[in-house]
Amino acid sequence: MAATAFETDAVDIDGASLRWYSPDDDPNVAYGFCAICGSSLFFRCGVADGTNASTSVCAGSIDGRSGLSTSEVWFADSAADHVRLDPGITTFSGQP
């Protein structure tokens, strides 16, 4: 999944169809999704312990031109055989 992040306190996210979910086995994370279609929109860590300084937003959920570019590829060794990785971008076998 392609994503970028912003400071949680810098943006007010509100919407009638936005729902947040924290799994029982890890209340320190939260997933924001569309209650109508189920699309993943946001991800937060540090929810339960109060350290959620940033919120990740799924790049595909941004309408129009975003100005985003790929800076890192995690789990590159798990990429499908049809995926062409740009040799100029930093890759990791797992998560850095």
* 48-62 tens-digit pLDDT: 787 878 888 887 787
Residue 48 sits in the same domain as residue 15: yes
Residue 41 sits in the same domain as residue 12: yes
Q: pLDDT of 34-83, one tens digit each?
A: 999 998 899 888 877 878 788 888 877 877 777 778 888 888 888 888 88
Residue 55 sits in the same domain as residue 71: no
Residue 11 sits in the same domain as residue 30: yes
Q: How far apart are CA 55 and CA 44, in angstroms?
A: 5
pTM above 0.75, yes or no: no
Of 20, 10, 1, 7, give the one whose Cα is nearest residue 61: 1
Domain range for residue 7?
A: 1-64
